Amino acid sequence: MDQTTTIKTSRISIELRDVDEEILWLLLEGRCTPRYLAGEIGVVQQYISQRLSRLVENDVVTKVDRGLYELPDEYRQEVTADE
């Protein structure tokens, strides 16, 4: 079972699964596609796409273009602060 972490900001509070955290760490390096994320994490692309959709819905990740995602600056600081 996945452990969860909670991101809390003035706008949202969202529980993250382990895979969500892995996605965020990879997005710290720069923009990524679901295919790249799936390959790096070792899960199927469809699952990554579902997780990205949830992260976009909650304004944690930004969809830059079709199939391209990035971590907004405010969350970039939040993720690195948790190191």
Q: What percent of the chain has pLDDT over 90?
A: 63
**Where does the pLDDT of residue 3 fall: very low under 50, low under 70, confident under 90, or very high at 90 and above?**
low
Q: Give the pLDDT confidence score for residue 75 in this predicted structure.
A: 72
4 pLDDT above the threshold of 90? no
Alpha-carbon gap, residue 38 to 46, rounded angstroms: 8
Number of domains observed in the structure of the chain: 1
* Any domain includes 42: yes
Residue 7 lies in a domain: no
User: Containing domain of residue 47, as a range?
Assistant: 16-81
Give 27-62 pLDDT, tens digit per residue.
999 999 999 999 999 999 999 999 999 999 988 999
Distance separating alpha carbons of residues 76 and 36, to the nearest angstrom: 19
Neighbouring-strand partners of residue 16: 5
Kindly report whether the global pTM for this prediction surpasses the value 0.95. Answer: no
CATH value at residue 26: 1.10.10.10
- At 58, give phi and psi (nearest 5°): -95, 10
